[in-house]
Amino acid sequence: REDRGRSPQRDFHILFVPRRSLLCEQWLKEQGVLGSFIHREQYSLDLIPFDGDLLSMESESAFKECYLESDQTSLYHAAKGLMTLQALYGTIPQIFGKGDCARHVANMMIRMKREFPGSQNSIFPVFDTLLLLDRNVDLLTPLATQLTYEGLIDEIYGIQNTYVKLPPEKFAPKKQGEGGKDLPTEPKKLQLNSAEELYAEIRDKNFNAVGSVLSKKAKIISAAFEERHHAKTVGEIKQFVSQLPHMQAARSSLANHTSIAELIKDITTSEDFFDNLTVEQEFMSGIDTDKVNNYIEDCIAQKHPLIKILRLVCLQSVCNSGLKQKVLDHYKREILQTYGYEHILTLNNLEKAGLLKPQTSGRNNYPTIRKTLRLWMDDVNEQNPNDISYVYSGYAPLSVRLAQLLARPGWRSIEEVLKMLPGPHFEERQQLPTGLQKKRQHGENRVTLVFFLGGVTYAEIAALRFLSQMEDGGTEYVIATTKLINGTTWIKSLMEKLEPTPF
Amino acid sequence: MNRARGDEEEYWHSSKFRAFTFDDEDDELSQLKESKRAVNSLRDIVDDDDDDLERVSWSGEPVGSISWSIKETASGSTSSLEGRDSSLQKGSSSYAALPKQVSSYSLSSLFKGRNKLPSFQSLSDALTDTGVKNYAPELRRPKAEYKDYSSDWSPKDTVRRMQRGKVCSLERFRSLQDKLVLLDEAVAGHDGNVITAVLIFLKRTLRREILFRELEVRQVALCHLIHFLRETGEQKLLLDLLRFLDRTEEVALSQYREHLNIQDVEKRREFLKGCIGLPFSAEDTSHIQDHYTLLERQIIIEANDRHLEMAGQSELFRKYPRKASILNMPLVTTLFYSCFYHYTEAEGTFSSPTNLKKTFKIPDKQYVLTALAARAKLRAWDDVDALLTTKNWLGYTKKKAPIGFHRVVEMLQRNNAPVQVLQEYVRLVEDVETRLNLATKYKCHDVVIETYRDLKDRIQLTAYKSKVERGSAEEEKINSILNN
């Protein structure tokens, strides 16, 4: 309004991305400025490609809305996104799913298809299967600390839309003979995606395997630069010069990632990181999940960040199918006394979402699930992994295991365990016009689109990529989700906002 | 009113923009392409001089000009469907209708990249169809057309259209029956925006009891309304609804949440007092009670201490001025504060640590830890020692810590405890390796020497000689041990 007074010549427009919301317009109207906008429109962005095999809706509130508020609007948009995807890449003949939201999305897809028969297209289907998974089928995975290179970058520094901001000290350009130059104060911003060769190579590796790749690369690049001494003829020199930009890019890429790896290593070698990881792994392997944990108590006593505490207690709760009432009350009391009583509201949300709740049935299903699906693998090989459990150095993400078993040998083999996980599981088939039904050639991989409803972590993405490149895996995966998350951002989205709203 | 109409006709007909048509086809891909193209060509349009538009509406504003369009929008005139008369009633239009304006002003039509497969053509379009559409056909359409038009849509179709973001008036759904059908259709359509839009309409036009009753059996719509009320902060209606549904615990929590919006401490205290009687779960009730009691205490302590600080008599407050007020701080923080500034007070006062411990049933471990931290900060080593000493029933004292002694040592070291003090506790570290590490790090020579002696490690002991001062007591000690 003030703006308008200042410059009456200016036209104001508002573009809602990804979609206009009635609430927003309501509020604008109440403020009396709705009419000041010449034009209101929405620029629909449903699924945004983040990389060659990754799509995200970047809907932060999707999990909270679906599981806390029973508002399934974001699922509607997921379904619409999938319809658009099918319009571009062909109808997906098989749909599998697990969870209430998955069921809902599938129903909407089928219905949307029915209502627009004209959208039947003649595109050869790119995807053979769609797997819809509710986040709440696997509440455990996002809570654990990711141990892949990309996962750790996200856990520690937070990757926003493929960009990360890093402390600048290690990235100051080193000039010969100039010591003590002014260090840059602006955080260093880097873009991270598979277009960068080195990054594509190391992003999905367990962090402990990254060092050797970097040092090998360093040798190769040094050797390449040394070539200039061997270039004698003009032709050779010319060839060397033509490759120079590529080599320089590779060198700068190596320098960046070496710095990042150093930053991460400082954290992963710290006592606190080690203690935290130890407790996480104890819980995930089923040790002492039914008692109050000393480390957690110590952390509360030392007033570590609340989100760290919440991740740990929720992890314990999930690995125990809910905590004994006494243990839960004890944790709650300590948290409220240390961080403030107003956090009752957040604790309530976590209970509603199933993350931190009392054990209702008196029995703990987690050990059965863990054993049947082989979620904890003692003999994990971080350098040359043979199983997806390398992404958490021992724990195989439940969600990815489900995808893995679906492809081979199929979910019928784990019926009992599936029943222990929330929500229905189902299979749907969509008719393809004759002639488009594809017969896969021998040796050709199936393509499965895995859609995580409620969020997905980089570690899970790494695990799926691992499956894709397995020699006789048989399936390649493309990943879609409502949001890229890590444990911290995920819990944060469930926390009650404690500052009074500005409105 | 209409001036220079001829020129304008030419302008309209030569416009390259597509007109608004009531299409049912929404090809989002083409929309995206159009909008991309449009945005690129935006520059040209914006510079366009609107002086060509000389048509003036009955309100005096030149038709089609920006100010006219603002007025139209401000009056919420989605009503073009209902005929021009209703645009006079400013407040009546159902703002439930998504105002993707019928009035397609120059810029808006840029984004309406439609018409791949027009399935429905407006009457005038059909007549003048030359491939170049009219610019703003709704300005020309006879009123009658609007009337016919609007009454045709069934609830199902209305929902469909709203899903596509088109203008829809919901006013004509007058009977309860119609409204419910509309709601059910919206729910079946799954688009949250549409459901909310319909709910806003129902909220405005239905009596509360009826609305609640009908929503009770419609879970999805109910959830949407609750979410909506939360977002818009319509606290009273939300609480009434939750009470109606007998969701008592939610009522309690929703009401409790409000305390965050109260800045004034006294008012907040009153409010919290009122929350105590609410139907929380048993555990939560005690927490709410504690919250109130804590704030009550904090107000008293704060008033007292501010007074003390101002008076300037207390050395403690002079030496360590308070950095922040104690109000609204968590319990443990309050305990730390109390151990810092009011440690020696008797249990009777509100600000004494022991009083806090008793009132809030703070467990021993937490108490000792907090007190340790506070006394260490004040470098009150005697107090620290007292906290770590327990007397058993025989009267013998023993040193005991609720956390490992290595932690105690670290805490003391952070506060620059002298070596003699540190030494006492390093000696008590159970794990030998840790003990040696800490002792060496903090130069607690006696402990190192004693430990090596106990380990009977001559080599290390001899090596350590180089680390102590020549001629010091420690050196002598080493020598005497080595010589035995």
Model confidence pLDDT, tens digit, residues A85-99: 988 888 899 999 999
> Are both B232 and B211 inside the same structural domain?
yes
User: Which of A4, A69, A73 to substitute to test the interface with B, most B CBs within 10 Å?
Assistant: A73
Instruction: Indicate if the pLDDT at residue A281 is higher than 70.
Output: yes
Residue in A closest to B285 by C-alpha: A344
Let me know if residue B10 belongs to a domain: no
Nearest CB to A29 within list B95, B192, B257? B95
**Which residues are within 8 A (CB) of B126 and not within 5 positions of it... i.e. 6 or more apart?**
none
Contacts of B95 in chain A (CB under 8 A): 26, 29
Residues B305-332 pLDDT 10s: 988 888 888 888 888 888 888 999 999 9
Which residue stretches of A174-209 are H helix?
197-202
What per-residue confidence (pLDDT) applies to B118? 34
Token readout for A53 is 């095999």
Which residue stretches of B378-414 are H helix?
381-388, 405-414
A242, A317, B354 from B316: Cα distances, Å: 73, 45, 19
Q: What mean pLDDT do residues A384-397 have? A: 95
Rg (CA), chain B: 39
Residue in A closest to B97 by C-alpha: A22
Contacts of B38 in chain A (CB under 8 A): none
Q: What mean pLDDT do residues A256-264 have? A: 94
Q: How many domains does chain B have?
A: 4
Let me know if residue B61 belongs to a domain: no
Contact yes or no for A44 and B219 at CB 8 A: no
Nearest CB to B331 within list A13, A44, A337? A337
What per-residue confidence (pLDDT) applies to A24? 67
What per-residue confidence (pLDDT) applies to B148? 36
Q: Are B102 and B138 in contact (CB under 8 A)?
A: yes
**Choice between B95 and A193, residue whose per-residue pLDDT is larger:** A193
Q: What mean pLDDT do residues B216-227 have? A: 87
Nearest CB to A345 within list B98, B233, B253? B253
**In degrees, to the nearest 5, what angle opens at C-alpha A292 toward C-alphas A288 and A298?**
115
Q: Percent of chain B having pLDDT more than 90?
A: 13
> Are both B329 and B294 inside the same structural domain?
yes
Contact yes or no for B260 and A25 at CB 8 A: no
Contact yes or no for A44 and B287 at CB 8 A: no
What per-residue confidence (pLDDT) applies to B244? 87
Contact yes or no for B256 and A34 at CB 8 A: no
Residues B394-411 pLDDT 10s: 777 778 887 778 888 888
What per-residue confidence (pLDDT) applies to B127? 40
Contacts of A499 in chain B (CB under 8 A): 260
**Which residues are within 8 A (CB) of B57 and not within 5 positions of it... i.e. 6 or more apart?**
B1, B63, B68
Instruction: Indicate if the pLDDT at residue A441 is higher than 70.
Output: no
B368 touches chain A (CB under 8 A): no
Contact yes or no for B98 and A298 at CB 8 A: no
How many Å lie between the alpha carbon of A194 and the closest alpha carbon of chain B?
26
Lowest mean pLDDT among A122-136, A387-401, A415-429, B50-64: B50-64
Identify the band that residue A483 occupies on the pLDDT scale cut at 50, 70 and 90. very high
Q: Are B265 and B273 in contact (CB under 8 A)?
A: no
What per-residue confidence (pLDDT) applies to A26? 65
Residue in A closest to B254 by C-alpha: A345
Round to whole Å and give the CA distance between B285 and A332: 13
Among candidates A38, A348, A150, which has minimal Cα distance to B69? A38
Nearest CB to A500 within list B261, B288, B328? B261
Lowest mean pLDDT among A8-17, A189-198, A282-291, B470-479: A8-17
Q: Are A479 and A54 in contact (CB under 8 A)?
A: yes
Contacts of B403 in chain A (CB under 8 A): 298, 301
Write down the number of H helices and E strands in chain B.
27, 2
Identify the band that residue B1 occupies on the pLDDT scale cut at 50, 70 and 90. very low
**Choice between B59 and B393, residue whose per-residue pLDDT is larger:** B393
Residues B29-79 pLDDT 10s: 555 555 555 555 544 444 444 333 344 444 444 444 444 444 444 443 333
Round to whole Å and give the CA distance between B92 and B56: 25
Q: Are B287 and A341 in contact (CB under 8 A)?
A: yes
Q: Are B22 and B111 in contact (CB under 8 A)?
A: no
| Phi, psi angle pair for B312, to nearest 5° | 70, 10
Round to whole Å and give the CA distance between A16 and A40: 7
Q: What mean pLDDT do residues A281-305 have? A: 93
Q: What mean pLDDT do residues A422-445 have? A: 79
Instruction: Indicate if the pLDDT at residue B97 is higher than 60.
Output: no
Let me know if residue B93 belongs to a domain: no
> Are both B271 and B358 inside the same structural domain?
yes
Query: B194: domain range?
Result: 155-246
Residue environment code for B132-168, b if the CB has 16+ CB neighbours within 10 A, otherwise e: ebbbbbbbeeeeebbeebbeebebeebbbbbbbbbbb
Residue in B closest to A301 by C-alpha: B366
Q: What mean pLDDT do residues B455-469 have? A: 80
Contacts of B164 in chain A (CB under 8 A): none
Q: Could you give the maximum distance between any two Cα atoms of chain B, in Å?
A: 122
What per-residue confidence (pLDDT) applies to B74? 43
Residue in A closest to B190 by C-alpha: A76
Let me know if residue B300 belongs to a domain: yes
Q: What average pLDDT does chain B have?
A: 72
From B405, B420, B438, the end of a domain falls on B438
Domains and CATH numbers, chain A: 12-42 (no CATH), 46-141+397-502 (3.40.50.1910), 149-170+188-269 (3.90.830.10), 272-363 (1.25.40.850)
Q: Percent of chain B having pLDDT more than 70?
A: 68
How many Å lie between the alpha carbon of B455 and the closest alpha carbon of chain A?
27
User: Which of A24, A38, A116 to substitute to test the interface with B, most B CBs within 10 Å?
Assistant: A38
Round to whole Å and give the CA distance between B440 and B229: 63
Instruction: Indicate if the pLDDT at residue B17 is higher than 60.
Output: no
Identify the band that residue B93 occupies on the pLDDT scale cut at 50, 70 and 90. very low
What per-residue confidence (pLDDT) applies to A38? 66
From B362, B390, B405, the end of a domain falls on B362
What per-residue confidence (pLDDT) applies to B146? 40
Q: What mean pLDDT do residues A433-443 have? A: 67
Nearest CB to A498 within list B29, B223, B260? B260
Lowest mean pLDDT among A109-113, A317-321, B231-235: B231-235
Round to whole Å and give the CA distance between B110 and B16: 10
How many Å lie between the alpha carbon of B92 and the closest alpha carbon of chain A?
14
How many Å lie between the alpha carbon of A94 and the closest alpha carbon of chain B?
23
Residue in B closest to A75 by C-alpha: B190
Q: What mean pLDDT do residues A179-196 have? A: 75
Contact yes or no for A348 and B107 at CB 8 A: no
What per-residue confidence (pLDDT) applies to A415? 94
Contact yes or no for B283 and A332 at CB 8 A: yes
| Phi, psi angle pair for B19, to nearest 5° | -80, 165
How many Å lie between the alpha carbon of B468 and the closest alpha carbon of chain A?
30
Token readout for B257 is 């949440």
| Helix or strand holding residue A446 (H, E) | strand A446-453
Hey, what amino acid is at A383?
Q
**Choice between B30 and B220, residue whose per-residue pLDDT is larger:** B220
Q: What mean pLDDT do residues A287-310 have? A: 93
A99, A138, B301 from A452: Cα distances, Å: 11, 10, 51
**Which residues are within 8 A (CB) of A282 and not within 5 positions of it... i.e. 6 or more apart?**
A288
Contact yes or no for A76 and B287 at CB 8 A: no
Q: Are B63 and B57 in contact (CB under 8 A)?
A: yes
pTM surpassing 0.90? no
Let me know if residue B80 belongs to a domain: no
Residue in B closest to A497 by C-alpha: B260
Instruction: Indicate if the pLDDT at residue B94 is higher than 80.
Output: no
Instruction: Indicate if the pLDDT at residue A206 is higher than 50.
Output: yes
User: Which of B193, B249, B410 to substitute to test the interface with A, most A CBs within 10 Å?
Assistant: B193
Token readout for B38 is 């449009």
Let me know if residue B182 belongs to a domain: yes
Which B-chain residues 49-108 have CB contacts (< 8 A) with chain A? Answer: 66, 69-71, 73-76, 95, 98-101, 105, 107-108
Q: What mean pLDDT do residues B4-12 have? A: 51
Contacts of A342 in chain B (CB under 8 A): 259-260, 291
Token readout for B224 is 């949407």
What per-residue confidence (pLDDT) applies to B109? 33
Contact yes or no for A20 and B193 at CB 8 A: yes
What per-residue confidence (pLDDT) applies to B37? 57
Q: What mean pLDDT do residues A446-469 have? A: 95
From B217, B246, B275, the end of a domain falls on B246
What per-residue confidence (pLDDT) applies to A375? 95
How many Å lie between the alpha carbon of B474 and the closest alpha carbon of chain A?
33
Let me know if residue B455 belongs to a domain: yes
A189, A324, B332 from B365: Cα distances, Å: 45, 22, 12
Contacts of A37 in chain B (CB under 8 A): 73
Lowest mean pLDDT among A163-177, B194-208, B360-374: A163-177
Which B-chain residues 120-179 have CB contacts (< 8 A) with chain A? Answer: 165
Q: What average pLDDT does chain A have?
A: 87
How many Å lie between the alpha carbon of A491 and the closest alpha carbon of chain B?
19
How many Å lie between the alpha carbon of B312 and the closest alpha carbon of chain A?
31
> Are both B269 and B301 inside the same structural domain?
yes
A276, A440, B30 from A125: Cα distances, Å: 46, 12, 21
Contact yes or no for B259 and A342 at CB 8 A: yes
Contact yes or no for A337 and B95 at CB 8 A: no
User: Which of A337, A496, A501 to substitute to test the interface with B, most B CBs within 10 Å?
Assistant: A337
Round to whole Å and give the CA distance between B287 and B243: 22
User: Which of A333, A357, A482, A496 to substitute to test the interface with B, most B CBs within 10 Å?
Assistant: A333
Q: What mean pLDDT do residues B386-392 have? A: 84
Determine the 3-state secondary structure of A456 from DSSP: strand
Token readout for B322 is 């308070």
B282 touches chain A (CB under 8 A): no
Instruction: Indicate if the pLDDT at residue B131 is higher than 70.
Output: no
Which residue stretches of B175-264 are H helix?
176-189, 192-205, 208-216, 219-232, 235-244, 248-257
Contact yes or no for B193 and A19 at CB 8 A: yes
> Are both B269 and B336 inside the same structural domain?
yes
Q: What mean pLDDT do residues B86-95 have? A: 34
Q: What mean pLDDT do residues A202-228 have? A: 91
What per-residue confidence (pLDDT) applies to B158? 79
> How many contacts does A have with B, using Cβ atoms within 8 A?
148
Contacts of B195 in chain A (CB under 8 A): 73
> Are both B358 and B372 inside the same structural domain?
no
Let me know if residue B238 belongs to a domain: yes
User: Which of B190, B191, B225 to substitute to test the interface with A, most A CBs within 10 Å?
Assistant: B190
What per-residue confidence (pLDDT) applies to A108? 92
